[in-house]
Amino acid sequence: MKTLKIGLLGLILFLSGILAHAQLPPEDVPKDRRKEIEAHKVAFITSQLKLTSEEAQVFWPVYNECQENMHNFRKENRKKHERKDADGTTTRVKIDEMSDEEAAAMVDNHIIFQQKELDMKKECLALYKEVLPIKKVAKLHQAERKFRQQLLRRINNSDKLQQRGKTQKRR
């Protein structure tokens, strides 16, 4: 029953996101779309793990903090591979334009990045174990993977529909 309530709450959040999306100006769409996806992710993972309302109250703040830390860490790492051009635009450094020393440093930094990312994942896993039963922690990675697969399928289907619409307009 509690899982059903949480699922319905997630659905309501998802639908309200869609309604809000339809009313926003185009420049706000990406941020709004991200919130919509996040709401759907919460509902999906809550359902997959069969979280009780008590578990969800404790788990989601921990999970969100871990995800935010990981996002910020990855964002900082991406900045290391960018440079500002003379006109002020930021572009990604191209490997073919690097010296051998720069390429070697990039490879070494990538391994260091992966190790730090793994350490962060271990820390998060330890925190999840403190707030959830171990079987639900074990199901978390699987639920995240299923959600990503579902999201990619939706995006691919949406792209296919858009392509069909463009093809039909040309005729």
Is residue 51 pLDDT above 90, yes or no?
Answer: yes
Contact 69, 120 (CB under 8 A): yes
Residue with tokens 């990675």: 141
When mean pLDDT is compared across 26-35, 87-96, 122-131, the lowest value belongs to: 26-35
Query: E strand or H helix at 57, and its extent?
Result: helix 53-79
Q: What is the mean pLDDT of residues 47-53?
A: 96
For the CA atoms of 161, 164, 170, 171, what is the dihedral angle to 10 degrees?
Answer: -130
Rounded Cα distance between 105 and 122, Å, is: 26
pLDDT at 167: 61
Q: What is the mean pLDDT of residues 142-153?
A: 95
Reported as a single tens digit per residue, the pLDDT across 69-114 is 999 999 998 888 777 777 777 778 888 888 899 889 889 999 999 9
Query: What is the pLDDT of the chain when averaged over all its residues?
Result: 82
pLDDT at 95: 86
For the CA atoms of 20, 22, 26, 30, what is the dihedral angle to 10 degrees?
Answer: 60
pLDDT at 8: 45
CA angle 14, 17, 22 (to 5 degrees): 135
Is residue 162 pLDDT above 80, yes or no?
Answer: no
The percent of residues in the chain predicted with pLDDT above 90, rounded, is: 53
